[in-house]
Amino acid sequence: MKLLAAAALLAALVPAAPSGPSASPWHERRGGDCAQPLAANRSAERHADVRHRTDGHVRDDLDLSPAEAAAVEARLNRILDDLGQGEHGSAKAAGLRRGARITIPVYFHVIHAGAKGNVSLAMIQRQIDTMNASYGGRNGGADTHVSFTLKAVSRTDNAAWFGDPERYEDTYKPKLHRGGKADLNLYSTYIGGDLLGWSTFPWRYKSDPEMDGVTIHYASMPGGSIHNFNKGFSATHEVGHWLGLYHTFQDGCSGQGDRVSDTPAERDPTNGCPAYKDTCPTPGDDPIHNYMDYSYDTCMNSFTAGQGARIHKVWTAYRA
């Protein structure tokens, strides 16, 4: 896919990057079929085509190539068929949409450097509340029948981890990670450059459970300091990936898109909050208000019923 022009980096005070171990294999190679060993595929979740925003911010870089997405979907469908869930789990997903809920315990890990990034318990609870409103349809759109409850909070004062969380991810995650495949480990820290967060996909859990989780810029939390991205929807977006959702612009105007029928195809991620955007010839305007796009937080307000159904299917395959 076309790489948009890079822009100014996020302006923020941050400790100088510490000396330390070189970047792990997570950051070195792009992987292929998800069925291959994880060590050769981690970067498929982290370093695809980075789409820089014109204001210097990007939600994440969790884009899969069409071939990678096709391999993931083929394996997902095989698992659901093997579980006896009808046509790729449609019966189970329909039952979940009718009333059953997924309640997810959250282990929230605050990585800070002294006072920098040491977010309050009240701010953490506001983030959980925001996620519950997002996934419960209370801001608009569909109720996905997913909710979150704060299980525990850890605090780690480590300037090196805080200053370069990507470099030290292989160090702090195994030390801090708690729970199992159905538990969300959510890390808040400083993220340099223009990223607002990142996530692992659920199909990676079995191969490397301690790396499972979501990382967000602490200043993107509700009431944070990042202009246009401080309503807490960066966590909503990244948790969407953790639950198995793609970007709304996955595959662009071709292929099978994000594998959700009620999100119209979208060629490019949305920047800002335009009044109108339609980048593909297929029916439907771009889903600029969807949490899985790149719009400003002030523009985002909804998931679709199809995204909710996909979450439940993926949950059945990988996290139930």
Task: Provide mean pLDDT across the span 13-42.
Answer: 28
Token pair of 210 as six digits? 């301690």
pLDDT at 255: 80
Task: Provide mean pLDDT across the span 67-88.
Answer: 84
pLDDT at 267: 94
pLDDT at 27: 27
- Asked whether 112 and 118 are in contact (CB, 8 A), the reply is yes
> 186: which strand partners?
108, 214
d(CA 240, CA 244): 6
How many Cβ atoms sit within 10 Å of the Cβ of residue 95?
A: 12
Closest CA to 195 of 229, 151, 241: 229
pLDDT band at 256 (very low <50, low <70, confident <90, very high): confident
Most confidently modeled range among 15-19, 73-77, 311-315 = 311-315
pTM (two decimals): 0.81
Closest CA to 231 of 182, 273, 274: 273
Q: Among residues 166, 169, 238, 266, which one is catalytic?
A: 238
Q: Is 235 exposed, middle or buried (0-12, 13-18, 19+ CB in 10 A)?
A: buried
- Asked whether 144 and 303 are in contact (CB, 8 A), the reply is yes
Does residue 28 have an active-site annotation? Answer: no
Q: What is the pLDDT of residues 91-118, one digit of tens each?
A: 444 444 445 899 999 999 999 999 999 9
One-character DSSP codes across the chain? -PPPPP-PPPP---PPPPP-PPPPGGGT-----TTS-GGGTGGGGTSS-----TTS-BS---PPPHHHHHHHHHHHHHHHHHTT-TTTTHHHHHHHHTT--EEEEEEEEEEEBTTBT---HHHHHHHHHHHHHHHTTSSSS---SEEEEEEEEEEEE-HHHHH-TTTTHHHHHHHH--S-TTSEEEEEE---TTB-EEE--GGGTTT-GGG-SEEEEGGGSTT-SSTT--SSHHHHHHHHHHTTPPPTTTTTTSTTTTS-TTS---SS---S--S----SSSSS---TTBTTS---TTT--B--HHHHHHHHHHHHHHT-
Token pair of 108 as six digits? 């929230």
**Would the pLDDT of 123 be above 90?**
yes
Share of the chain above pLDDT 70, in %: 76
d(CA 14, CA 211): 25
How many Cβ atoms sit within 10 Å of the Cβ of residue 217?
A: 26
**Would the pLDDT of 202 be above 80?**
yes
Q: Which of 2-11, 71-80, 111-120, 133-142 has the lowest mean pLDDT?
A: 2-11
- Asked whether 228 and 296 are in contact (CB, 8 A), the reply is yes
Token pair of 171 as six digits? 């160090």
Q: Which of 46-50, 116-120, 144-148, 184-188 has the lowest mean pLDDT?
A: 46-50
Q: What is the pLDDT of residues 203-212, one digit of tens each?
A: 999 999 999 9
Residues 6+ apart with CB under 8 A from 238: 59, 60, 197, 198, 199, 214, 215, 216
β-pairing, 102-112 with 184-189? parallel
